[in-house]
Amino acid sequence: MKLSLLLPAGQIVVPLSARTKDAVVDELLALLPIADEAQRAAVRESVLSRETELSTGIGRGVAIPHGKTAVVARHACAFGVVPVAAGEGVDWAAIDSLPCRIVFLCVSNPKDAGEHVRVLSQVARVLNDSRARAALENAATPDDVRRIFIDDEAREGL
């Protein structure tokens, strides 16, 4: 599955207005195509529950909050960047203790566990690239963000 297909422009927010972990999750969840508030609440619970197990702040200013729940039929992703003007970023209890500016949210159905791991792997690969990370931090529009993921897919032959 290509990240560019999972991440339409309407599911990207640059810049994020939220300044706490829970508020960022809520802001990104609001972008997902979820049918009703009860389902959105279930998705939120799956993501925040995963955070209590182990922070998804992977370091270098990046967080990849994710969860699995049967209320989503297929993968859904959202992406946001905390603006530099907001300070150093959002405290995500990252493994390197640095605040996060780049947040990639991913939710999936538990039946799609293999695909979920592949999506998270692709996200981590892109966000571990210092040039891609810098470009994402400086993206001015959702189309700028999409272009970075599309360029990565082209380089990887996806």
* Domains with residue ranges and CATH for the chain: 3-156 (3.40.930.10)
Say what the pLDDT of residue 1 is.
74
User: pLDDT tens digits for 47-86?
Assistant: 999 999 999 999 999 999 999 999 999 899 999 999 876 5
β-pair type (62-63, 57-59): antiparallel
Portion of the chain with pLDDT greater than 70, in percent: 98
CA 136 from centre of chain: 12
In the DSSP assignment, the letter for residue 70 is T
Q: What is the 3-state secondary structure (H, E, C) of the chain?
A: CCHHHHCCHHHEECCCCCCCHHHHHHHHHCCCCCCCHHHHHHHHHHHHHHHHHCCCEEECCEECCEEECCCCCCCEEEEEECCHHHCCCECCCCCCCCCECEEEEEEECHHHHHHHHHHHHHHHHHHCCHHHHHHHHCCCCHHHHHHHHHHHHHHHCC
Report, as an integer, the average pLDDT of 115-126: 87
pLDDT-based confidence at residue 87 (cuts at 50, 70, 90): low
Say what the pLDDT of residue 115 is.
87
Say what the pLDDT of residue 81 is.
95
Between 112 and 102, the more confident residue is 102
Largest separation between any pair of C-alpha atoms in the chain: 40
pLDDT-based confidence at residue 118 (cuts at 50, 70, 90): confident
